[in-house]
Amino acid sequence: MYPMITLRPATLNDVPHLDLWDLEPHVISATSDDPDAEKAFGDTYWPDELALVREDYQYFIAELDGRPIGGMQIIDPHTERTRYWGDIEPGLRAIDIWIGSAADHGHGYGAEMMRLAIEACFLGPEVTAIIIDPLASNTRAHTFYQRLGFRPEGIRELGEDNDICLVHRLTRDAWLKPLSGE
């Protein structure tokens, strides 16, 4: 049985949660290898970040029975304007996910958030794969994503800070395989 998680678009009303979660040590360590980082996502100012939302650059809030528990970003890495992924082929979606409070870890919420996001991404027939970019140092995230069917592609430097990430990919075919019973 899946937890009662829903995803909804993030709004300015969510900024207090996002700001609070940015101070959580587990969120900071998942977004930076800097041991002195005091905040997750660098100098992100959430009102400005949420103003960037477009069809190809979206933020979501995960709720458990109406209680915000985490955040998620889904982008089209080929078209979104920040060019975080650089030159990359079309037909992809990229997902970033975080659970806000450490107390909400270990209950299957992240897996359910990913299940919902993967289903939403693959609704578009043009989407052939989903990519993710956990820090190379975040071995716990690698295990999590691989359990969901993602396969490591290799180390890559991404973003303005040249974060060292281990990129993973889940193809539509790999996602459909368990459904077809093969």
How does the average pLDDT of the chain come out, rounded? 90
- For residue 14, name the pLDDT band (cuts at 50, 70, 90): very high
- For residue 181, name the pLDDT band (cuts at 50, 70, 90): low
Written as one letter, the residue type at 46 is W
Domain 5-180: CATH architecture, name and number where available = 3-Layer(aba) Sandwich (3.40)
Q: How many residues are given for the chain?
A: 182
**Alpha helix stretches (DSSP H) within 22-94:** 25-31, 46-51
Q: What is the pLDDT of residues 33-79, one digit of tens each?
A: 777 888 888 888 999 999 989 999 999 999 999 999 999 999 999 99
Q: What is the pLDDT of residues 74-116, one digit of tens each?
A: 999 999 998 888 899 999 999 999 999 989 999 999 999 999 9
pLDDT, residue 41, reads 83
CA distances (Å), 59 to each of 32, 38, 50, 98, 179, in order? Answer: 20, 22, 7, 11, 28
pLDDT, residue 37, reads 81
Distant-in-sequence, close-in-space partners of 162: CB < 8 Å, separation ≥ 6: none
pLDDT, residue 62, reads 97
Q: Which residue has the higher pLDDT, 2 or 83?
A: 83
Distant-in-sequence, close-in-space partners of 87: CB < 8 Å, separation ≥ 6: none
pLDDT, residue 86, reads 87
Query: CA-to-CA distance for 83 and 40, rounded, in angstroms?
Result: 20
Q: Which residue has the higher pLDDT, 28 or 68?
A: 68
pLDDT, residue 88, reads 93
| Token pair recorded at residue 98 | 């975080």
Phi and psi at residue 50, to the nearest 5°: -70, -25
Q: What residue has token string 């970033």?
A: 96
